Amino acid sequence: MEFFLEAGLKGLSKWLRFFGYKTQICESKIDKKIVLKYKDKIFLITSPFTAKLLEKAGIKYLLLPRESLKAQLTIL
C-alpha cells in the first residue's frame, strides 16, 4: 500500500514511513496532471476541493482534518 500526501502532511508522512508504509509528498498543488500520474496510490489530503477532483477521477483518497497530527493518525 502506497500513499501520496499533499505538502502539508509531511509530519504524517514521517510516521507512516516509520510504520513501514511507502509515502510520497506532493510539493505542488494537486491537479489533474498529478492525479493521473499517481492514480495507483492512495491520496491523503486535507482539501475538500482536491477531494472532489479525486472523486471525479475515481481515485482512492482519505480526507483528513487539518488541525493536528494526532487527529490524523487516529483516523488512519
What is the average per-residue pLDDT within 11-36?
94
pLDDT tier for residue 1 given thresholds of 50, 70 and 90: confident
If 0-12 CB within 10 Å is exposed, 13-18 middle and 19+ buried, where does residue 44 land? Answer: buried
Total domains present in the chain:
1
Full domain range(s) for residue 69: 2-75
What single string gives the DSSP state of each residue in 39-73?
TTSEEEE--HHHHHHHHHHT--EEE--SS-HHHHH
Average pLDDT over residues 20-34: 93
Confidence of residue 69 (pLDDT cuts 50, 70, 90): confident
User: Above pLDDT 70, what percent of the chain?
Assistant: 100
